[in-house]
Amino acid sequence: MNTPIRDFVLDYNEKNAVRLHMPGHKGKDFLGFEKYDITEIDGADVLYSAEGIIKESEENASSLFGSFRTFYSCEGSSLCIKAMLAIVASQRRDKNKKAKILAARNVHKAFIYGCALCDIDVEWMYPSVSSHLCTCVITPDELDRKLSQLSEDVDGVYITSPDYHGQTSDVRALSEVCERYSVPLLVDNAHGAYLGFLEKSLHPINNGAYMCCDSAHKTLPVLTGGAYLHLSEKAMDSVSYVENMMALMGSTSPSYLILQSLDMCNKYLSEGYKERLAATVKRIGKLKYELADCGAVIEDSEPLKLVLNLSASGVYVDTVLSALGEYAIVPEFYDNGHMVFMFTPENTESDYTVLSEALSSVNYGSYTDAESFVYDYETVDRGLTIRDAVFSSKETVCVKNSEGRICASPAITCPPAVPPIVSGEIISRNAIDCMLYYGIDKIEVVK
Ligand SMILES: Cc1ncc(COP(=O)(O)O)c(C=O)c1O
């Protein structure tokens, strides 16, 4: 597959041009890659009104992912989430009312900020069984029940799949429900860019989603910030909104390093990636098996994550961290209950062997009282809309004294960036316990 953006930048470098344009480093080495860091000069196309090399590269991505259209983002899925929300708000059924979205509660905070910017009301869906703050899997029947009560009122359904713990929803079945009610299904697929390259695609855009975002940088060899906004054929009418809405929320100075990285990723994906991914999934499966043999409890998850359930394994997080420290192994995420490791085909065999050695050295089952925190999702009362709360005058208070106050800014550590209490909601005891568990001791509340 060709790489028009990368080729353009290489040609430009060949010319040894006198750079009397931005950026200010003029291609000189400071970090070492500045010569490849250009701006939207003649021939380099313009992100968000692409007609040349960027469009050609996005078309390559679209053909690989099987989307109707794919757009690049240099500002992560965060930008794509805000753009998806802005598109839904612009296309709302009743222009005399605010847009409303029915969303599974484990949203990333970009969703909250997007709702604030677009003045969208949210109706939350909660899981029937509580587990972790990051997880809120909604079944097709639950969605059907909700839509049968609300569908007239709802402009879109929004889910996060996979979530930070690798839990996935049945996107195909949920999209069928949405179609019955003529409501678009939007998917935060930030963690699942690779899913379309599994033997049977689990990517939302191949399974009935209307639109979705992928953080290419999370699971593919793309620089941090590189992401896709994919539209399915059903979203044909939304195409004309996308570039405007991305421009509304994004910078006018896209990183050409990230664009080249997304461009090169097309070539990478078209040259044996499926086979390399299959081998990686197999290798992770072997590792999970070895660890389970030592007494570790590994949760079911999407294939590129390994999720160690610390509490069920009877180990403290500090014990595992110190075993990992011996081998300089850095996990993606941990709290007292779980630890998440992420793999790609770029991991080497020795990565698996050292992780296996480190985790096998731990004495599982040594504690019966290892701490776990089940986040009991609950319906909380709302004092203000998300927008009014985010744009209110605020004060910072101690979380332990915040019961009954209205949350102004979503407070959460990143990762996982899933807020236990959302702007506009009245802070409950349960939310306080969750924030304290995550080490959050201050929160901005409405004055
Ligand atoms: C579930 C989820 N959605 C969205 C995002 C935002 O993605 P990005 O960092 O690409 O902006 C993240 C980031 O961690 C995430 O975990």
Q: What is the pLDDT of residues 70-111, one digit of tens each?
A: 999 999 999 999 999 999 999 998 899 999 999 999 999 999
Structure confidence at residue 397 (pLDDT): 96
Beta-bridge partner residues of 401: none
Structure confidence at residue 373 (pLDDT): 63
Q: What is the pLDDT of residues 150-187, one digit of tens each?
A: 877 899 999 999 999 999 999 999 999 999 999 999 99
pLDDT greater than 60 at residue 332: yes
pLDDT greater than 70 at residue 261: yes
Measured CA to CA, the distance from residue 134 to residue 132 in angstroms comes to 5
| The one-letter amino acid at 305 | K
Site to probe by mutation for ligand 1, drawn from 72, 73, 75, 78 as the one with most ligand atoms within 8 Å of Cβ, is 78
Q: What is the pLDDT of residues 181-190, one digit of tens each?
A: 999 999 999 9
Confidence class for position 414, pLDDT limits 50, 70, 90:
low
Q: Is 164 in the pocket of ligand 1 (CB under 6 A)?
A: yes
Structure confidence at residue 49 (pLDDT): 94
Domains of the chain, first to last: 4-270 (3.40.640.10), 286-360 (3.90.1150.10), 386-446 (3.90.105.10)
| The one-letter amino acid at 255 | S
Q: What is the pLDDT of residues 190-226, one digit of tens each?
A: 999 999 999 999 999 999 999 999 999 999 999 999 9
Between 352 and 418, the higher pLDDT residue: 352
Site to probe by mutation for ligand 1, drawn from 77, 214, 258, 333 as the one with most ligand atoms within 8 Å of Cβ, is 77
Structure confidence at residue 63 (pLDDT): 98
Q: Is 194 in the pocket of ligand 1 (CB under 6 A)?
A: no
pLDDT greater than 80 at residue 370: no
Nearest-CA neighbor of 279 among 304, 302, 300? 304
In sequence order, the 6+-apart residues with CB closer than 8 A to the CB of 304 are 194, 219, 280, 281, 284, 342, 343, 344
Measured CA to CA, the distance from residue 181 to residue 32 in angstroms comes to 53
Q: What is the mean pLDDT of residues 33-58?
A: 97
Structure confidence at residue 133 (pLDDT): 81
Site to probe by mutation for ligand 1, drawn from 81, 213, 215, 222 as the one with most ligand atoms within 8 Å of Cβ, is 215
Atom of ligand 1 nearest to the CA of 106: 1
Query: What value does the mean pLDDT of the chain take?
Result: 94
Structure confidence at residue 256 (pLDDT): 98
Q: Is 215 in the pocket of ligand 1 (CB under 6 A)?
A: yes
Confidence class for position 130, pLDDT limits 50, 70, 90:
confident
Q: What is the mean pLDDT of residues 290-315?
A: 95
> What letters, b where the CB count within 10 A reaches 16 and e where it falls short, cover 379-412?
ebebbbbbbbbbebebeeeebeebeebbbbbbbb
Structure confidence at residue 419 (pLDDT): 85
Q: Is 247 in the pocket of ligand 1 (CB under 6 A)?
A: no
